[in-house]
Each structure stands twice: as structure tokens, then as C-alpha cells.
Chain A
């Protein structure tokens, strides 16, 4: 997906944070040296193209309760069924298939650690697979963003 220059600058400049003021799009326009309407149009264009995950507040997950990264080593023949079981839990908000003995990786989020323990026990009972429970101990980087230019 090739981006126009303004769209690229919008992402590079504001993926880490937008001005939290009364007229955010005007402040963004001033920062980029363009018109306010161009900022909104640029975001809408990015959104229509599916290039925006979202525009809005990113909440501190760890403060919203408890979360952990979980892995399961699923026999290939059972992948679909186990993935469906795991995805059925509203507490699961990311689930990736990865090329490894531990091939199913998902994030569990809940109001507290006891809740997560109950879900882990349930998943183990339902799948017969022992979950690898890897809660975060320290965060060295939690930003979802990275510069488009450097990363390319």
C-alpha cells in the first residue's frame, strides 16, 4: 500500500500521540503546515484504505486489570478446534498462530489475576493442553508505533 506524503507524515507524526486540545485537527494541521480540513480528509482516506487501526485513546491495559501472554502447543490436526475454543472467550483479545512447538499465542485480559487463573484452568480442562502462562514482569517498550521510514 503506497501512501501519499501527507498520510505518511500523519502516521509518523501522530501514531505516538495527538494533541489533546480543544481543536486537535487544527493543532495537527499547524504542526504539519497544512489546512485543518486536509488532516481530517487524510485520516478519512487512511481509514477507508484500512490503514488505520483506530484514532483515539490507547488505554493502559495493566491498569485496567490483569493480563498475561499465553501459549499452547497444539497438535496440528486440532488447531482449528482449539483456536475456536480459545477465541470463544471474550477475555482473549489477540490470538496468533506461530511457527513453533508452542504454536498458539494469545493475550488474556480480565479484571484481576484470579479471573485469569480460572480461565487458564478452564482452557486446560477443555483442551487437555497445559497453557504456558507468561505475564509481563517489566516493560522495556510498550509503544505500538515505529517509524515507517526506518522500519522499511
Chain B
């Protein structure tokens, strides 16, 4: 640790009380050690920086900026345009918003999940984490928190901004707020469910490879191909239990959850076409998270 030492002034030099002289040499560290909470914070902060391209080359920042822009700019537009022009608020509900945000989250999961895990595996940094105050569980939990919190910022904040904006655009904001207060827990629950879903699946797939590009492609491919296959099976197999294909369709799970939370399914959603009780989508998301956890366990936590 750098220590401050007294240094005699040079001959002829003007004395000053502003300058400090430091002698750099090693001394034992006598400061505080903040334990596991600091370790968690460090991994989360580091992961945020990687995912958002902070202190990295400019090309790493492009996609996060576009995705955050795609999530926030329409919401701000829906609020600011009526406010500036003095017209009535355009009806744009939370279920429509979350349906749009779900697409953005998919792209964000494909971009950010590999940033969370692949580099650490490819560059063999994991032994340095594990030989410090972090267990494998801690590491993965920190990564899940990091990705989940970023996703939450993309879902929760725009939805809250939209809700509050709609409120203040009303002629009677307070009465609007009191009659729609139940939107808060719905927005929070929806944001959490979507964040856990995309973060869990994204991290599970990213844990399978050290190549970020391949991981991103597999994540996108899993959602697109999985949805196409599940829909195809649902359409071609006409049995009592065919609705299960709808529950296994990755891109229909968010739609089903939106239906469950807001009671308003987006048009064309398999949840409505198949007449599935939306509560089943809680089972579906639990299944996706369980399978994802199993994959991650197999990759990271199984004893070597």
C-alpha cells in the first residue's frame, strides 16, 4: 500500500503545503475486508460493464444502446407527444408494451448472456474467482442477478414510465391512479417473470459454449426454432393434450404470462388459440427455469 512519508524540501525549492510525496512500497493491508457482499457487488458491477460495453471498444456499446433506445424511446414518445401537442393520451396498455419488450429482451438475452459467462470460461478466469471468497453458487447467483437486473431495467422502468406518464396525462391523475393502482404489482410481477425467464434460459445456453457468437446464435435459434416446432406440432397433432406444445413454445410463454397477469392476450398468441388456462404458463416457466438450472448445474456445479 502506498504510504505517505515526509520528504525534506529540495534546496532552493519553495516550500508548499499543497504537495504530497508518496513512497510506493509494499506494506501489509490493514484496511477493512467487506466479505462476500463486496465480492457479489464486484462480479455484478463487472458483468454490467461487460454487457453494456462500458470501458470497452465502441462497437461493444452499439447493441446495448439500440436495445435500451428501443425499450425507452417509444414509451417516451407515447407520453411526450401528447403532452407537447396537448392532445389526449394514446391508448397503449401495459400488455402491448410487455409484448414488445419481450422481443427486445430476447435480443438482449442473446447479446448479454454470452457476455456474462463465455469470456470467463474461455479466458479461464473462473479459478481466480473460485480461489477467492466466491463459491460456484455465488458466482452463478451474481451473474443471474447481474443479467436479471439489466433485464429488469429494460422491462420495469419503461412500464413504470408509461404508467406514470399515462397518469399525469389524465385530466384527473389522482383518481386515475387510485382506480389503477393494481397495475403496479402486475407490472412488477410481469417484469420479474420475463427477466427470470430470459435470463435463466440465456445463461443456461451461454454456459454450454465459450464462443459468444455461437451462444448468441443458439439463443436466438432456440427461441425461433423451438417456437416454430412447438406450433407446428400443435397444429398437426389434434389430441386432448396438444396444448402442452403451446406450453413448451419458448416465445409463447411470455405471451401466456402477459395473458395471466393482465388478462389480455396479444392477438394470435397460442395461449388464446389453444384455449390454455393461463395459469399453466406458471408451470411452463417453472419448467424452463428448472431445465435451465439443471444445465447450469451440470456445467458449473457438478463435482469435477
Chains A and B bind each other = no
